Chains A and B, each alone.
Chain A
Amino acid sequence: MRASVPILVPISFFGMMFGAAAIAAGQTLANTIWASIAIFAGASQFVFLEVYRAGVPVWSVALAVFAVNFRHLLYSAALASKVRHYGPLQKFFAFFLLTDLQFAVVENQALRLGKSGRVSFAFYIGFGAIAYVVWIVMTAIGGLFGSLIENPRTFGLDFILPVYFATILMGFRKRDRFLAIAIASTVVAVLVHRTIGAPWHISLGALAGIAVAALMAKNGEVETEGAAEEAALESTSGKVDRS
């Protein structure tokens, strides 16, 4: 458990950044904190800010957040054997707290436990609850800071979102077909943004990248568990010591 302390540094940092960016994007302080309480997913919360401020219909905000959350489907599939012994309420909390980091920490613990791989609920909730509280508190601090600044441009807070998305995107760069997907999505997004306009650049751009990935893949089948582990390793690389 002590090993998880360094992991709280990025949670704190991104929590504060979300708070400041949310205020700069026009959210109230109450809603900023509410987002961290209700959603508890960094990338999804940032995507919410970006898409919601475009003034688009609710369904398209929901679709964008669902799409960014997709990797969680793979995580929770991969965790099946480790959490199957939890009760229904325990499972509810376990899945609610299932962030990228949580997945990496739990997988790491399962590896340590050896073949049985059943992670105790106490371990699971121990890390998860700390991360959750830190995330909310840091969001509030960032939000307070943001609301004290009259013009968000002063500290570049209005531009946190694209820079944040650039770092998230580049975190995936070692993944198969990364360049082809990123280029296809970017080109279509820019073209649609200039012609049809927001929010269509997001859904149509994303579809282009997904189509390219599906076309480039080989025929055949793969195991769901291996795919999730690979995805988690890449999206948390540098944040968690797997050794």
Chain B
Amino acid sequence: MNGVVALYEAHQAAFVIALLGLITLATRAGGYLVLARFKRIPARLEAALEAVPVAVISTLVVPPAFSGGVAEFATVAFAVVACLRLPSMVVILAGLGLIVGLRMVGL
């Protein structure tokens, strides 16, 4: 038992990753195994399910903007606005360029 605990502690991240792999597989199979049995679902439930990714990802965008200085805030703001016009790969590269530049000038 102690050996198992020690093994887990030494490779915690690897075990967490394995768990996340299983969770991902479960969601990818779960719709077929569970949700497909229900041809129709309540509209409010569907709206809630569909909102989950947007709701979660929203919480990861703005808090980091306040974590540093002007450079961090400006880069997040730029990324959000730039997505209206530019493909995401361009936005990411430009965003990285922007934060490096802003930090260089001391913001």
List A residues at the B interface (Cβ < 8 Å).
Answer: 10, 13, 17, 27-28, 30-31, 34-35, 38-41, 43-44, 47-48, 50, 52, 58, 61-62, 64-80, 83, 91-92, 95-96, 98, 153-157, 159-173, 175-178, 181-182, 184-186, 188-190, 193, 201-202, 205-214, 216-225, 227-228, 231, 235, 238
Contacts and interface: CB of A to CB of B under 8 A. Distances in A.
Given A76-B28, A83-B32, A163 B53 contact: no
Given A208-B55, A223-B39, 7 more contacts: A58-B19, A153-B103, A168-B88, A172-B57, A211-B48, A212-B51, A217-B44
Contact of A166 (B24, B50, B83): B83
Nearest to B42: A221
Contacts of B95: 156, 159, 163, 166
Per DSSP, are chain A's interface residues mostly helix, strand or loop, or mixed? Answer: helix
B2 interface: no
Nearest to A199: B59
A108 B40 CA distance: 23
A34 to B, nearest CB: 5
A165 B57 CA distance: 6
Nearest to B38: A224
Nearest to A226: B46
Contacts of B97: 156
B20 A238 contact: no
Nearest to B83: A170
A44 B89 CA distance: 18
Interface string B29-67: 111111110111111111111111111111111111110
28 contacts: A40-B21, A62-B23, A65-B20, A70-B49, A71-B50, A72-B28, A73-B35, A74-B31, A80-B36, A166-B91, A176-B47, A182-B54, A185-B59, A186-B58, A189-B58, A190-B63, A202-B56, A209-B51, A209-B55, A212-B51, A214-B44, A221-B41, A221-B42, A222-B42, A223-B40, A224-B40, A224-B41, A227-B46
Contacts of A47: 56, 60
Contacts of A153: 100, 103
B7 interface: no
Contacts of A38: 17-18, 20-21
A231 B53 CA distance: 10
A52 B44 CA distance: 32
B interface majority secondary structure: helix
User: Chain B: interface residue count, which band?
Assistant: 35 or more
A145 B51 CA distance: 36
Contact of B91 (A73, A167, A219): A167
Interface in B67-107: 72, 75-76, 79-80, 83-84, 87-89, 91-92, 95-97, 99-100, 103
The 5 closest A-B pairs by CB, nearest first: A209-B55, A76-B31, A213-B51, A38-B21, A170-B83
A98 B53 contact: no
